[in-house]
Structure 1
Amino acid sequence: MDKRSKRQREIMSRLRSGRTLSVNALASDLSVSDETIRRELRALEDHGAIIREHGGARLAAPTLEGPLLQRLGENADAKLRIARAAAEMIPDGAIVFIDSGTTSLFIARQLVERKSLTVITNSLGVANDLGGINNNRLFLAAGQMDYEYRAFSDHAAQEYVRGFTPHLAILSVGGISTDQGLMDFHPGEATMSRIAYATSKRVLLGADASKFGRYALIQTAQLSDVDILVTDEPLTDEYASAFAHAEVVVA
C-alpha cells in the first residue's frame, strides 16, 4: 500500500467517529502538512467518500456500523480492558441480559469461569460462549436472524426478552452525547436496549472512548438510565457531570 492510500485510509478511519474533523487536527494527528491533508480530502471527495466543509470534512453519509467481525476488531484493546473490569462485577449465580454489541461480546467471553449464571441474550456469540457450561442456564431470543450482527432483534425476539426481569443488563451503545443521550444504529437493537433499560434492575454500559460525542441514528435511553459505566479513559468534565449519578469504572 502506497503512502497516499494508507493516509486516506487513516483519514477515513478517523472520520468514522461521526464527527466533522478539521484539516489542522488531521494534519497534526497524521504528522503531515495542512496542504497534504487538503489534497487527500479532495481525492476522497472526488470518490464520493466525504463531504468537505469549511476547514474540515465529514463522511458523505451517516455513519453505519459494519459487519460483526469488522466491528469486533475496532478498538479491541479498549474493549478487552472494559470487559475484564466489567466481569469483576458479575458474581456466580447472577441473572443477566447481554445484548449483541461487540463490547458485550467481549464481556461475555470474560464470564466463562463464572458458575450457575442465568443468561438471557439475543446474540448467537454470547449463547455460544456461555451456554452449556458451568451449570449455566441460557435463554436465547429467537426470530429472524440478522446475519451481520449474528443476532435476533425482530418483533418475536423483542417480545421474548420483554418477559424477563434480569438482575443486570450488560449493554453496548452506538453513540453517547450529553444532548441526545444514548443512541444506536440498528432499529431492532435499539428496541432491545430500550426493553433492557425498562426491565432490568440495574444496567451496566460498556463504552470505549470513541463512543463519546458520537451520534448514531436512534435514541435508546437517557444518560441517567445507566447505573454502571465501564469505559477505558477518564471522562471529560462534561461527561463526568452527566454520569455523576452512576458508578463509573475506568479500566
Structure 2
Amino acid sequence: MTKRRVRQQAIIARVQAAGAYAVRDLAQELQVSEETIRRELKVLEASGAISKGHGAVSLPLGAVEGPFELRLRENAEAKQRIARAVAGLVPDGGIVHIDSGTTSYYVAKALRQHRSLTVITNSVAVSAELGGRNDNRVFLSGGELDYQYKAFFDHRSCDYLAQFTPTLAVLSVGAISRDQGLMDFHSGEAAANRIVYGKARTVILAADASKFDRYGLIRTAHLTDVDVLVTDQPLTPEYAEAFTHARIVVA
C-alpha cells in the first residue's frame, strides 16, 4: 500500500472515531503539512468518504450506521428485493449462517416459509424470525448483547460461532471498495463475520448499491472471499471486473 493510501486510511479512521477533526490536528498527528492533508482530503471528499468544511473535516451525512431500527429503514425496498433473491438460493434443510446486518434480517423474514433449516446466527432479530417454526433449528451465540445492533459480538460469541461449518453463509457489509475490499463500521461485527468467511463452504454477500465505493472503519474480508454477490443494481464495469470470480445476482 502506498504512503498516500496509508495516510488516507489514517485520516478516515480518525474522523470516523471522533465524528469530526480539525485539519490542523490531522497534520500534527500524521506529522505532515496542512497542505498535504488538504490534498488528501480533496481526494477523500471526491470519493464520498468525508465531508470537508472550513478548517475541519467530518463524515458525510449517513456515513455512520445508527441503531438497528433506523438502519432497517435505509434502502428498505432494495434490501427486501435482495433478501427475496437470497432466499431463493437457500434450500429447505440447508445449514446457513445469517449475520446481524439489516439486509440479513430481511433475508430471515424472506426465509419464514422455508422448512427444516439449521440456522447459526449472532442476531437476536434473526433468531426471533426463524426460531420455533417449520422444524427449524436455531443456534444463537451468547455473550454481552449489543443493544444498538441487537446482536452478540464479544469473544464468547465469536468462540461459539467458530465451532460451526455452515454450508451457506449470508453476510452483509457496511462498505465495499475495490482497493480495500469489504469493510464494516463495528469492530465486533467485522470480527464475527471474519470468522464465518473462513468457515462457510459458500459465502453469499447481500449488499445494496449504496455500499459500493464507500469506506468503512475496519476491513472484514477481501472481495475474492465472496462466492455469490446479490445486489439491487447492475455493477459498474470496474466492479464487474473486481467480482469476476463470483456469481452475480441482480435482484
Q: CA separation in 1, counterparts of 2:62 and 2:210?
A: 16
Q: Would the aligned equivalents of 2:45 and 2:51 in 1 still touch at CA under 8 Å?
A: no
Partner letter of residue 211 of structure 1? K
Deviations 1:56-107 (A, max 9, x none): x863799321000000000001001100111100010000000000000011
**How many angstroms apart in 1 are the aligned matches of 2:94 and 2:165?**
12
Q: Which AA in structure 1 matches 2:132?
A: G
Q: Show the 5 A alignment for 1:89-168.
A: 89-168=89-168
Paired amino acid for 1:102: T
Alignment of 1:15-30 (within 5 A): 20=45
Classify 1:61/1:211 alpha carbon distance in 2 versus 1 (closer, same or farther; 3 Å): closer
CA distance in 2, matches of 1:231, 1:60: 23
Change over 3 Å in CA distance of 1:144–1:250 after alignment to 2: same
Partner residue, 2:53 = 52
Shift of 1:207: 0.3
1:5-16 equivalence runs, <5 A? none
CA offsets per residue over residues 127-153 of structure 1, 9 Å max, x none? 000000000001000100000000001
Return the alpha-carbon distance in structure 2 between the equivalents of residues 84 and 197 of structure 1: 22
In the aligned structure 2, how far is the partner of 1:62 from the partner of 1:172?
17
CA–CA distance in structure 2, aligned partners of residues 118 and 177 of structure 1: 32
- Distance across 2 between alignment mates of 1:60 and 1:206: 23
Name the TM-score, length of structure 1 as normaliser.
0.78
Q: Does the 8 Å CA contact 1:21/1:58 hold for their aligned counterparts?
A: no
Match of 2:9 in 1: none
Give the whole-Å Cα distance in 1 for the aligned partners of 2:120 and 2:214.
Answer: 28
Q: Separation in 2 of the partners of 1:76 and 1:248? A: 20
Runs of 5+ in structure 1 lacking a partner? 1-18, 23-48
Aligned length: 206
Which residue of structure 1 aligns with residue 204 of structure 2?
204
Q: Structure 2 length as normaliser, TM-score?
A: 0.78
Determine helix, strand or coil for the equivalent of 1:91.
coil
Contact map agreement 2:168 2:204 (CA 8 A) in 1: yes
The corresponding residue for 2:29 is none
Contact preservation (8 Å) 1:124, 1:151: yes
**Corresponding position of 1:238:** 238
Q: Is the 8 A contact 2:68 2:102 kept in 1?
A: yes
Q: Which runs of 5+ in 2 are unaligned?
A: 1-43
- Over aligned residue pairs, what C-alpha RMSD do you find? 2.2
1:25-70 CA-to-partner distances (Å, cap 9, x unmatched) read xxxxxxxxxxxxxxxxxxxxxxxx953379xx86379932100000
Is 1:227 aligned with 2:214?
no
Amino acid at match of 2:45: T
CA contact (8 A) 2:45 2:52 kept: no
Percent identity over paired residues: 58
- Counterpart AA for 1:132: G
- Between the aligned partners of 2:62 and 2:86, the Cα distance in structure 1 is 30
SS in 1 for 2:53: strand
Report runs of 4+ in structure 1 exceeding 4 Å deviation: none
- Tell me how far apart the structure 1 counterparts of residues 51 and 218 of structure 2 sit (CA, whole Å): 22
